[in-house]
Amino acid sequence: MVQRILFLHGAGPQPGPEENPVLQAVRRRWPDADLVAPALPDPEDPDPDQWQDAIARAIREIPDEPWMIVGHSLGGSEALRFLCHRIPTLLQRVVTVASPCWDQDDPDWNYLGFTLPATAGRTLADLDIVVVHAEDDDVVPVTHAHRLADRLPSAQLLLLGSGGHLPTEWTERGIVP
């Protein structure tokens, strides 16, 4: 049983915790879990190194108990990038929601500071990863979910017909212990 959930928000203007539909859906689905949602630095102009440092600080605060990560948008891709370098103990699952897959060959999504290492598929092969994406996401195209699934062949891909960039239906499907 998951006792703690680390929620990592995305880039851009951030709503308050009570206005974030993804965060609220996670709270409704796992009301007994301790939900940790740190404010990541400068979300309107994110720096990859600062986000990695903030994620490391948040993870260091998690006690030795079963836990999971839910990362929305950039928070999801940065969680994966962090885990490529160090996998903490007792991490049970990683759920990325509407997360970009940065790619040097994509002119709109080629910022190399956020790209996954080429070894990500092997490094993360033993982690339980779910890639959630809505087909009607108008911020991060659904092609990113397919690219993530290609780069992380052991990940489960969950495509939703709707939900835009803030899909919540996945929390009702019981995909997480």
Assess contact for 9 and 165: CB atoms under 8 A: no
pTM of the model: 0.95
pLDDT per residue as tens digits for the range 32-63: 999 999 999 999 999 999 999 999 999 999 98
Q: What is the mean pLDDT of residues 4-23?
A: 90
Assess contact for 75 and 112: CB atoms under 8 A: no
Domain contains 71: yes
Residue type, 89: T
| Residue range of the domain that includes 139 | 4-10+20-28+47-173
Above 60 in pLDDT, residue 92? yes
Residue 15: per-residue pLDDT = 81
Q: Which two tokens stand for residue 175?
A: 């995909």
H-type alpha helices, 16-142 = 21-29, 48-60, 74-83, 120-123
Report the chain's C-alpha Rg in angstroms: 15
Domain contains 86: yes
Q: What percent of the chain has pLDDT over 70?
A: 97
Domain contains 145: yes
Residue written as token pair 């991490």: 91
Residue type, 98: A
The structural domain count of the chain equals: 1
Residue 133: in which H helix or E strand, if any?
Answer: strand 129-134
Q: For residue 145, give the CATH number of its domain.
A: 3.40.50.1820
Assess contact for 37 and 9: CB atoms under 8 A: yes
Domain contains 42: no
Residue 92, phi then psi, degrees to nearest 5: -95, -35
Q: Which of 115, 170, 93, 106 is nearest to 137 (CA)?
A: 170
Domain contains 80: yes
Q: Residue 1: which pLDDT band, with cuts at 50, 70 and 90?
A: low
Domain contains 72: yes
Domain contains 35: no
Residue 177: per-residue pLDDT = 47
Domain contains 105: yes
